[in-house]
Amino acid sequence: MLRSPTTSEYEVIERFYRAKDVMFGGHDYRITVGVSTCSMAKGAHLVLKKVEEEVARRGINARVVRVGCNGMCFSENMVEIIDHEGSWAVYAYVTPERVSRMLDGYFSGSSRGVFAFRVKGGSLMDEERVPYIYEIPFYGKQVRRVLRFMGIVNPLSIEEYEALGGYSGLKRALRLTPDEVIDIVIRSKLRGRGGAGFPTGLKWKLVREAKGDVKYLICNADEGDPGAFMNRLTAEGNPHIIIEGMIIAAYAVGASKGFVFVRAEKPLMADMLARAIEQARDKGYLGREILRRDFDFDIEVILSAGAFVCGEETAMIAAIEGAATARGGRCSPTPRPPYPAEKGLFYKPTLVNNVETYAQVAYLFQAGLEDFISVGTENSKGTKVFCLAGSIRYTGAVEVPIGITLRELIFEIGGGVPKGRRFKAVQIGGPSGGCLPKAYIDYPLDYEQLKSLGAIMGSGGIIVIDDKSCIVDVARYFLKFTVTESCGQCTPCRIGLRHMLEIMNRITEGKGTEEDLIRLERLGNVIAKTSLCGLGKTAPNPVLTTLRYFREEYEEHVKQRKCRAGKCMKLRAR
């Protein structure tokens, strides 16, 4: 099944060649190496060093550029060689040892001995053998917006981002009134990409209309869900798209100061954002009288010391305000209302959005409303970035229209489970989400649908679980996670979750009873109803959904003292 690049894919390529002067900087070739935290685990920084050495040794007139990752984690490390005439080769599985062979092959016109794709044709590649990157389903089924310059643009060069069309969205927004900007966001039907899916435009309107001399803006880059790394990837690969979205939002709601809240576990992400902010300041996109308008705004990066609950907006605000004075020593959530939109940071109206939401806003104003709403469902337009991990052949980050099915995501884009394993469940939404069985993977992925199934969109982490994993043990894993992450402020979450965990421990140790299953359900529902914040409200989800869809496996544990996956050591495997 051959497929040519679609219009939007061509558009990115065309933009690239229009910006030739900036991208090549006077060199004959541009060679890029994707380096981010995850590819460094496979030695990307060593590949970069080797490419630089080899290019210098051979006297190739090439600009070697460190870029972010394009999301194809499974084929790390990736190196791309591009010339002026339209030959664009993508090399996968590159190790430092293979760099030499790769360069030999490219410059002798052969792709022998290396694994390659191409973005564009050209005489240098043997065309018959090398597929277009868009032909592989992993890439071809995506609609890349937030990720569109990922792996192409140099994250540390604001000039490259501008040359590809970056900050044109900000310029366009500043020609409108703040109300007109908000109106476009409302009509875009963009919903918060951080998890809960609140309509973004409506939130902006509330902050704009809230009374207050000073207003703040927060970018939630805490990304605490295990299994989700799209925010880190975006910030490491194209931080300016996040900054651009934040500035547009600040203009619309009337905020003068912004904060990016990043966790200390992700130092490269924080560093990239801080450097991008400096560059934006030098260019006049941040600071006083931005683009000669009567609009002042600046951004500060705050490093969190790491607590899952700080992804909850009121807890995050407490952490930024300073833990010791504001709310009794720690960063515990506070009841809403008042919502941050009315009384947030330092009791001023505050807009809190997720990294991906801001990036989507930048795309919306770069590409226009009509383009933005061309994909998605009735109630929710646009795309969502998902991270594929666990027992799946092609791991990575992919951007797809909202409303795509899990089947397309896991089996077409992700290639299904590895050979010899069987699909058992998909966990979506992290510790607040749920596990869905195969029967439900043909439902469209949107906020309402997932909620009705007991899961949540969350930040978009998708973990595939195969027959080697015990579903009871997986649910127990998430419960252990939320028990340690509970801030301890409200009783249902602090004590209730601990009781649920004790029951789960009993079941996995072969001491569970049938009544335990009923207790779990009752307790879980009470905790979900009575907890103060989102953490407690959603923490029972992994147990409740697995009880709903995989009850058989629980019953085997309590009735037959059997764990079919062989994971629970004290039970028999068959």
* Least Å from the CB of residue 199 to another protein: 27
In three-state secondary structure terms, 420 is coil
Q: Does 251 bind another protein (CB under 8 A)?
A: no
The 10 Å Cβ neighbour count of residue 388 is 27
Q: 48 to each of 28, 40, 95, 259, how far by Cα in Å?
A: 19, 10, 10, 32
The answer to whether residue 553 forms part of the interface with another protein (CB under 8 A) is: no
Residue 428 amino acid letter? I
- Residue from 277, 388, 543, 544 touching another protein (CB under 8 A): that is 388
Nearer to another protein, 265 or 371 (CB): 265
How many CB atoms sit inside 10 A of residue 475's CB? 29
Given the complex with another protein, which of 38 and 364 has the nearer CB atom? Answer: 38
Contact of 155 with 67, CB cutoff 8 Å: yes
Helix ranges, 413-540 (H): 447-452, 471-485, 491, 497-508, 514-530, 534-538
- Residues numbered 324 to 343 that lie near another protein (CB under 8 A) are 324-326, 328-331
C-alpha to C-alpha distance for 385 and 144, rounded to whole angstroms: 9
CA distance 106 to 513: 65
Q: Kindly state the smallest distance separating residue 36's Cβ from another protein, in Å.
A: 9
CB 252, min distance to another protein, A: 28
Nearest CB to another protein, comparing residues 208 and 348 = 348
Strand order in the sheet with 434-437: 396-401, 383-390, 461-466, 423-428, 434-437
- Residues 536, 487: contact at Cβ < 8 Å? no
Distance CA 177, CA 253 (A): 11
Residue 356: which H helix or E strand, with range?
helix 355-367
Q: Smaller CB distance to another protein: residue 62 or 571?
A: 571
Residues 396-415 that bind another protein (CB under 8 A): 396
- By CB under 8 A, residue 357 contacts another protein: no
C-beta atoms surrounding 195 within 10 Å: 24
Smallest gap from residue 432 Cβ to another protein (A)? 12
Q: Which is nearer to another protein, 461 or 496 (CB)?
A: 461
Q: Which of 163, 301, 319, 410 binds another protein (CB under 8 A)?
A: 319
Q: How many residues bind another protein (CB under 8 A)?
A: 56
Does residue number 427 form part of the binding site for another protein (CB under 8 A)? yes
What DSSP line would sit under 361-396, residue for residue?
A: HHHHHHH-HHHHTTSB-SSSBSEEEEEEEES-SS-E
Residue whose C-alpha is closest to residue 88's, from 122, 55, 38: 122
The reply on whether position 216 binds another protein by CB under 8 A is no
Q: Write out the binding residues for another protein, residues 477-496 only, by CB under 8 A.
A: 477-478, 481, 487
59 binds another protein (CB under 8 A): no
Q: Is 323 a binder of another protein (CB under 8 A)?
A: yes
Out of 159, 162, 265, 521, the residue judged to bind another protein by CB under 8 A: 265
Asked if 29 interacts with another protein (CB under 8 A), we say no
Residue labelled with tokens 């991008």: 276
Segment contacting another protein by CB under 8 A, of 95-103, 104-112, 164-172, 461-469: 461-469
Q: Which tokens go with 553?
A: 């496996």
Cα distances (angstroms) measured from residue 402 to each of 368, 386, 396, 398 = 18, 10, 18, 12
224 lies in the binding site for another protein (CB under 8 A): yes
Asked if 279 touches another protein (CB under 8 A), the answer is no
Residues 70-89 that bind another protein (CB under 8 A): 73-74, 76
Residue ranges binding another protein (CB under 8 A): 37-38, 40-42, 73-74, 76, 223-229, 232-233, 264-266, 302-308, 319, 321-326, 328-331, 387-391, 395-396, 427, 430, 461, 463, 465, 469, 474, 477-478, 481, 487
